[in-house]
Chain A
Amino acid sequence: MAAKKSAAATTKKKSDRDAATLSKIEKLARSVLAEATRGHNPALEIRTRALSNVSFNTKKKIIELGDRTQSREFFNTAMVRKFMQTMLVASKCKTLIDEGKTVSIRQMYYMSKHTLPNSTENTFEDQNESDPIIEDLEVGIDALREELHLFATRRGSVVGQLVIEDAGDRIDLARMGRGGWSVPSICEPDVIAFVQCKAEFILYVEKDAVFTRLNEDGFWKKHNCILMTTGGQSTRGARRLLQRMSLELKLPIYVLVDNDPWGLYIYSVLKQGSIALAYESMRMAVPNVRFLGMSSFDYVKYKLTSAVQIKLKKEDVARAEQMKAYPWFKDKKWQREIQELLDNGFKMELDGFLTKSISFITDEYIPKKLRDHDFLQ
């Protein structure tokens, strides 16, 4: 019953939202046309998505996009191509909304790609050109990616003590076999609802291999939790899902990443958002996410041998130094953690625990960490 009702509500809500998005796109087009008609230089105001326009909101503990905008003008040789591309993507998004279809950003790249008449130039030469334009449009007209009927590459798996409903299908995440339920790129309440949750916490791991290890070992059954991975940097969908689980299910979230600057950054993005998607932080950041490991101090704590050491590269050191300077890592314990990494002079992978035994991570490492409340936040 409930399911049906929510589905109906979903379609209703969707069309409202589409109408709003459509009017945003039309407003953009009308203002450009009006400017040109008045003999002015048509310009799109787009909030600057760069470190210089990003700030750390210490109260909300998230990275926020500042108010600084940059004008993208048509009659400007440096901007005209991007201007054209932005309008092109806007028009294709309108088509998507009109037809009620959703495509990936790669498909959007192909939808908007064509060769300009009498030249060899394409409207877009590769996806690296169209992806930022899509983000520009999101910021420019203040619409979410899913509102534009676009989704990013999907990545991520979940298993565990949770029953959800995805577009009307009820799915028990405890019965997903070895692969887990794959996280869609759009995880908004109108498509995904949490039906029943028996889990006590969520464990998010960076690596797919570790996810498989834990799943095979039945970790989530034993510890009554939800297990999730995105295999590397987290995706929008996964982050949105994590935030919703945190807020709606009120579960603590533990993050397990490799002991290197890259792992730290994955944690950092989950916690307070990224620079590139700073405008989405509100919807994605999970400020109370906990850093379970792998800590630089674990080498000694868990009596690991030199076999797990991977020498820090020059770029690793530079990246670590850079992160040490981020305002959101200013806390003493974070400074200590990063400094220890630098002092060690080596990094470690979660897989390194296999030097101990196959299931050391499942049976000893994580349980002890949880028991000892040995995490950073």
Chain B
Amino acid sequence: MKTTGEEGAPKRRATAETMASRQRDISVSEFFTKNRHLLGFDNPAKALLTTVKEAVDNSLDACEEAGILPELHVEIVEVQPATSSNQAARFRVIVEDNGPGIVKPQIPKIFAKLLYGSKFHRLKQSRGQQGIGISAAGLYGQLTTGKPVIITSKTGKGRPAFKIDLRIDTKHNQPDVVKDQTVDWDKEHGTRVEIELVAAYRGGRTGVLEYLEQTVVANPHLALTYVSPKGERLELPRVSNELPREAQEIKPHPHGVELGMLQTMLADSPGKTVKEVLCDDFSRVSPAIAVEICRLAKVNAKAKADRLHGDDLERLHQALGEVKIMAPAATAVVPIGEALLIEGLKRRFPRAEFFASTTRAPKVYRGNPFVVEAALAYGGDLPLDEPADIMRFANRVPLQYQPKACAISESVYQVNWRGYELPQPKGSLPIAPMAVVVHLASVWVPFTSEAKEAVAHYDELLEEMKSALRECGRKLASHVRSRKHADREMKRRSLFEKYIPEVAAAIGGILGMESGKVEKPFYATLPDFVKFADEEPVQAPKDDKGGGSPPPEGSSPPDEAPPPPPKDGAPGGKGSKGSKGSKGKKSAELTLVE
């Protein structure tokens, strides 16, 4: 240990004044150029995905807000192939929608000014949140290729279509219109974004195709056309004509509002009483409840809001968290819905044999309502001996990076799938032909970073996710069980069927009878000793045997009616919920959704 003697003191290098001369504003754009990884542009492959994603998210948000069934065209064109192994290729990303279009004066700001948007200031569920995405993509393109972003937009029939080439003035975070023209566009309305960028096209888990396929799962109302760099064309017609209900903008809910936010809200309301602020600026707070909150907090309800501080403020904050109050309006959050989740899954896995979905009731997280949904597809052509596939969604947007850091993955790991008849090595994913969907819909999704790649671990969220997964798991378990049972019985049946001719021949030989005659009573008795569940296995290939047991939905009641009641002894409802054919099941869920 050295002591710092006087003679050891270093020489001053700068004074406060000289340092001040070097301190100045940092433009957001400048910041971005140095920190592109924060927004998801850390490598060429990811940059391509992020660009497509930001454009598609914006288009979908715009269409839904306008009440238009979205019809998107996504195209990626390879402008210049990779020259050498370390020089990435150039691509042009084109995303065209049938949305409401953008009025001309707004176009430069939306696409060429960072942190400009309509979504940041509202408490409303939407895909984009910060108003940084699409302009960041444009900036990335500009930085890597020097090419401007080209926007074409038209707001309605008979109106002109504008085609604008934009650059971002990175020093001042201001748009710079390079070219501005009016063009002919046969579309009634919509927006087309073209960005050229240095990128790499990849397949697999983090590729563009995977993103689009997942997007289609979470957006059954989306009709999508995709043209890949190789020119392959993928047409995905919509499977639902139902536009998601419009999410209501809401005020913060008293449960979970942070102290700092409460302080700001009170301070911003000069002239108002505490009671008035509580009633006006929070959701679900009636005058009676406001009084109750003040009573709990031992705060005078008529006190001036902007005068409240110190202990009073803290007690008020505590009371807000404790008061019994209605959950925030579910209308603020728009889940996909159980039936549509299944439709979405079916679009991607048409050959899966079983689907289940669950939409949980809305809950509150830090004053923000949220809904967790889970769904799964099982069996069919899904890979048999591989870990289940997880699709993570936040406000219908697929999350493809950082699965390990995401609360959604964590929830799938934490559920004990062995309880639902699936093998699951300790601490890992279930090994099953299964694809799992978890969707978190919220006015504010807590991401781990601004790149919006993973949902942060918060107990309230994690618990809801696990509950949703467990509900799906229970539905699946009864299917797997009846499937296993059916398999077992099928094996038993074929075993008996194999030996009947032998036994019949032997008996026939002993009694001098024709073996065909001896076989008959055995075959007649066989069904009594082979018990299938209420239903036949989904893809029972039997065409002649067993009468009407395969699932022609209408015909089952008449002659199949007798068996079910004695079988379980349980009320009919239980039996049918557990293991009815997919037809009956779907309708049950449709009614649930309503």
By a beta-carbon cutoff of 8 Å, the part of chain A in contact with chain B is 25-26, 28-30, 32-33, 36-37, 39-41, 74-75, 77, 80-81, 83-84, 87-88, 90-91, 94-95, 116-117, 119, 121, 123
Evaluate contact between A87 and B503: CB separation under 8 angstroms.
yes
B496 CB contact (under 8 Å) in A25, A30, A74, A116: A74
Q: Is B502 an interface residue (CB 8 A)?
A: yes
- The minimal Cβ–Cβ distance linking B563 to chain A, given in whole angstroms, is 16
Residues of A within 8 A of B495 (CB): 77, 80
Alpha-carbon distance A37/B507, docked complex (angstroms):
13
Task: Determine whether the beta carbon of B529 is less than 8 Å from that of A37.
Answer: no
A36-B521, A75-B529 given; A117·B496 CB < 8 A: no
| Residues in chain B within 8 A of chain A (CB atoms) | 491-492, 495-496, 498-499, 501-503, 505-507, 509-511, 518, 521-522, 524-526, 528-529
CA distance A91 to B522 in the complex (A): 18
Interface centre among A36, A87, A117, A123 (most CB of B within 10 A): A36
A121 CA / B510 CA spacing, docked (Å): 24
Q: Are A83 and B503 within 8 A (Cβ)? A: yes
Closest Cβ of chain B: how far from A350's Cβ, in Å? 47
Shortest C-beta distance, B32 to chain A (Å), equals 69
Q: Are A33 and B511 in contact (CB under 8 A)?
A: yes
A-B pairs with lowest CB-CB distance, top 8: A75-B529, A91-B506, A87-B506, A29-B510, A37-B521, A91-B509, A36-B521, A84-B499
Nearest CB on A from B579, distance (A)? 23
Measured CB to CB, the nearest residue on chain B to A86 is B506
Q: What's the dominant secondary structure at chain A's contact region?
A: helix
Known: A39-B528, A75-B529. A88 touches B506 (CB 8 A): yes
Instruction: Say yes or no: A80 contacts B496, CB within 8 Å.
Output: yes
Q: What separation, in Å, do the CA atoms of A264 and B521 have in the docked complex?
A: 52
* Complex Cα gap A123–B496 (Å): 14
A121 to B525, CA, bound (A): 24
Q: Which A-chain residue is minimally distant from B529 (CB atoms)?
A: A75
On whether the beta carbons of B509 and A94 are closer than 8 Å, the reply is: yes
Q: A36-B521, A83-B503 are in contact. Are A94 and B492 (CB under 8 A)?
A: no
- 16 CB < 8 A contacts A-B: A25-B510, A29-B506, A29-B510, A36-B522, A37-B521, A39-B525, A40-B525, A41-B525, A74-B496, A77-B495, A80-B499, A84-B499, A84-B502, A87-B506, A88-B502, A91-B507
A-B contact count (CB 8 A): 71
Q: How far is the CA of A91 from the CA of B525 in the complex (A)?
A: 22
Q: Is the CB of A90 within 8 A of B506?
A: yes
Question: Is B529 a contact of A41 with CB atoms below 8 Å?
Answer: yes
Q: Is B525 a contact partner of A29 (Cβ separation < 8 A)?
A: no
Contact present for A26 and B496 (CB under 8 Å): no
Residue on A nearest B491 in the bound complex, by CB: A77
The complex places the Cα of A75 from the Cα of B498 at a distance, in Å, of 12
Query: In the complex, what distance in Å separates the CA atom of A3 from the CA atom of B322?
Result: 113
**A114 nearest CB neighbor, chain B only:** B502
Cα separation A91 to B504 with both chains bound (whole Å) = 10
Question: Shortest distance in angstroms between A42's beta carbon and chain B's nearest beta carbon?
Answer: 8
- Taking CB atoms, residues of chain B closer than 8 Å to A116 are 498, 502
> A123 to B525, Cβ gap below 8 A?
no
Nearest A residue (CB) for B492:
A77
Q: Are A32 and B499 in contact (CB under 8 A)?
A: no
A74 and B498 CA atoms in complex are apart in Å by: 12
Q: Which residue of A lies closest to B511 (CB)?
A: A29
Name the B residues within 8 Å of A81 (CB-CB).
Answer: 499
Q: Which residues of B contact A91 (CB under 8 A)?
A: 505-507, 509-510
Min C-beta distance of A111 to chain B, whole Å:
12
Tell me which of A30, A39, A119, A123 contacts B511 (CB under 8 A).
A30
Additional A-B contacts beyond A39-B525, A75-B525 (16; CB < 8 A):
A28-B510, A33-B511, A33-B521, A36-B521, A74-B503, A80-B495, A84-B503, A87-B507, A88-B503, A88-B506, A90-B510, A91-B507, A116-B498, A119-B498, A121-B498, A123-B502
Query: Nearest chain B CB to A18's CB is how many angstroms away?
Result: 14
> How far is the CB of B511 from the nearest CB of chain A, in Å?
5
Bound CA–CA A36/B524 (angstroms): 8
Instruction: List residues of chain A with CB within 8 A of the CB of B528.
Output: 39
CB contacts (< 8 Å) of B525 on chain A: these are 36, 39-41, 75
Which residues of B have CB within 8 Å of A87? 502-503, 506-507, 510
C-alpha spacing A80/B518, complex, angstroms? 16
B530, closest chain A residue (CB): A75
User: In the assembled complex, which residues on chain A have CB atoms less than 8 Å from the CB atom of B529?
Assistant: 41, 75
Residues of A within 8 A of B507 (CB): 29, 32-33, 87, 91
Within the complex, what minimum Cβ distance (angstroms) separates B139 from chain A? 69
- Chain B, Cβ-Cβ closest to A80: B499
CB neighbours of A28 from chain B (8 A): 510
| B484 → A minimal CB distance (Å) | 15
Chain A residue with the shortest CB-CB distance to B519: A36
Bound-complex Cα distance A117 to B499 (A): 10
- In the assembled complex, which residues on chain A have CB atoms less than 8 Å from the CB atom of B510? 25-26, 28-29, 87, 90-91, 94
Residues on A with beta carbons closer than 8 Å to the beta carbon of B496:
74-75, 80
Give the complex CA separation of A33 and B517 in angstroms: 10
Give the distance in Å from the alpha carbon of A18 to the alpha carbon of B529 in the complex. 37
Bound together, the chains give a CA A40 to CA B526 distance in angstroms of 10
Docked Cα-Cα span, A28 to B495, in Å, equals 23
- In the complex, the answer to whether A95 meets B509 with C-beta atoms within 8 Å is yes
Please give the distance in Å from B494's CB to the nearest CB on chain A: 10
Distance in angstroms from A90 CB to nearest chain B CB is 6
Write the nearest CB–CB distance from B159 to chain A, whole angstroms: 73
Least CB distance, B306 to chain A, in whole angstroms: 81
Q: Which residues of B contact A119 (CB under 8 A)?
A: 498
Smallest CB-CB separation from B502: which chain A residue?
A: A84
Chain B: CB-nearest residue to A123: B502
Q: How far is the CA of A312 from the CA of B298 in the complex (A)?
A: 94
Give Cα distance in the complex from A116 to B494, angstroms: 13
Whole-angstrom CA separation of A345 from B387 in the bound complex: 60
Residue of A nearest to B510 (CB): A29
B526 touches A75 (CB 8 A): yes
Q: How far is the CB of B516 from chain A (nearest CB, A)?
A: 13
Q: Which residues of B contact A25 (CB under 8 A)?
A: 510
Within the complex, the shortest CB–CB distance from B501 to chain A, in Å, comes to 7
Complex: chain B residue closest to A74, CB-CB:
B503
Min Cβ gap A79→B in Å is 10
B residues near A94, Cβ cutoff 8 Å: 509-510
Closest A residue to B499 by beta carbon equals A84
Cα separation A255 to B518 with both chains bound (whole Å): 53
In the assembled complex, how far is the CB of residue A75 from the closest CB belonging to chain B, in whole angstroms?
4
Across-interface contacts of B511 in A (CB, < 8 A): 26, 29-30, 33
**B492–chain A nearest beta-carbon distance, Å:** 5
Q: Which residues of B contact A88 (CB under 8 A)?
A: 502-503, 506
A20 vs chain B, min Cβ distance (A): 15
Q: Which residue of A lies closest to B509 (CB)?
A: A91
Chain B nearest CB from A373 CB (Å) reads 55
Once bound together, how far apart are the Cα atoms of A36 and B528, in whole Å? 11
**Which of chain B's residues has its CB closest to A36's CB?**
B521
CB-CB nearest in chain B for A89: B506
Q: Give Cα distance in the complex from A117 to B494, angstroms.
A: 13
Q: Which residues of A contact B502 (CB under 8 A)?
A: 84, 87-88, 116, 123
What's the Cα separation between A29 and B510 when bound, in Å? Answer: 7
Name the residue of chain A whose CB is nearest to the CB of B527.
Answer: A39
Identify the interface centre among B495, B522, B524, B525: most chain A CB within 10 Å of its CB. Answer: B525
A40 to B528, CA, bound (A): 9
Name the B residues within 8 Å of A40 (CB-CB).
525
Q: Which residues of A contact B521 (CB under 8 A)?
A: 33, 36-37
Chain A contacts for B491, CB-based, 8 A: 77
Q: In the assembly, what is the distance between CA of A90 and CA of B508, in Å?
A: 11
Nearest chain A CB to B107 CB, angstrom units: 72
Q: How far is the CA of A119 from the CA of B501 in the complex (A)?
A: 14
CA distance A119 to B502 in the complex (A): 13
